[in-house]
Amino acid sequence: MFDFLSDYDNPTLLGAFWVTVQLTVFSAVGSLIWGTLLAAMRVSPVPLMRGFGTAYVNLVRNIPLTVIIVFTSLGLANIFGVTMGTEDLKDRAFRLAVLGLVAYTAAFVCEAIRSGINTVPVGQAEAARAIGLSFSQVLRLVVLPQAFRSVIGPLANVLIALTKNTTVAAAIGVAEAALLMKEMIENEAQTLLIGAIFAFGFVVLTLPTGLFLGWLSKRLAVKR
């Protein structure tokens, strides 16, 4: 029943899912960094930075991820000659996909982090200042601990959505799970079985992440 799987060795089933995992991890780290920077801009006291952050988030959020990913390949690579530091076409596609995913996901990470900072009542900071804490102490001891704990849930949602969104990389030929499924499903007769295998793969990837982070966010939530 599973004989056909041995016909696929470039990549194998596990290999394709490994690429999906790699895409997810690299994009998650990248978008966490870029998203945090964006969130810092959006809550900063400098109006110009706030404006830039708002504009970035609102523009990027409304463009389909597919458009962004296809643009990195056809626009950035082919027209502008962005090679992402490699001549190998496979590596280049992978890195371009990560670039696109980071640019897109960062907008959602930014919104999640910003909402976390917004959940902290202003009175907390005022009370902290009233007892004579310095700015860095207010931030370190009062605001950030509450903010971080309230964003675990939203960030978990972003991470799960990111895991599923990595399939879009198939549009520019990154050999990840969705591309392999497309190939298998077209060549083999067992449509239902192949669909079930790949569905199971994604359930395995997303379900534990969601359950663990959901449990964590409930455990750490600040009760108000």
Least distance (Å) from another protein to the CB of residue 30?
16
Looking at beta carbons only, is 1 or 79 nearer to another protein? 79
Angstrom distance (rounded) from CA 139 to CA 40: 13
Angstrom distance (rounded) from CA 37 to CA 40: 5
Looking at beta carbons only, is 33 or 203 nearer to another protein? 203
Least distance (Å) from another protein to the CB of residue 52?
7
Count CB atoms within 10 A of the CB of residue 108.
Answer: 22
Looking at beta carbons only, is 47 or 85 nearer to another protein? 47
Looking at beta carbons only, is 33 or 195 nearer to another protein? 195
**65, 70, 107, 157 from 100: Cα distances, Å:** 8, 9, 12, 19
Least distance (Å) from another protein to the CB of residue 66?
4
**97, 176, 203, 205 from 198: Cα distances, Å:** 20, 11, 9, 11
Pair of tokens at residue 39: 């969130």
Pair of tokens at residue 208: 């534990």
- Which residue carries 């900071």 as its tokens? 125
Q: Are 23 and 99 in contact (CB under 8 A)?
A: no
Least distance (Å) from another protein to the CB of residue 106?
12
Q: Are 163 and 103 in contact (CB under 8 A)?
A: no
Looking at beta carbons only, is 78 or 86 nearer to another protein? 78
The amino acid at 109: V
Least distance (Å) from another protein to the CB of residue 190?
11
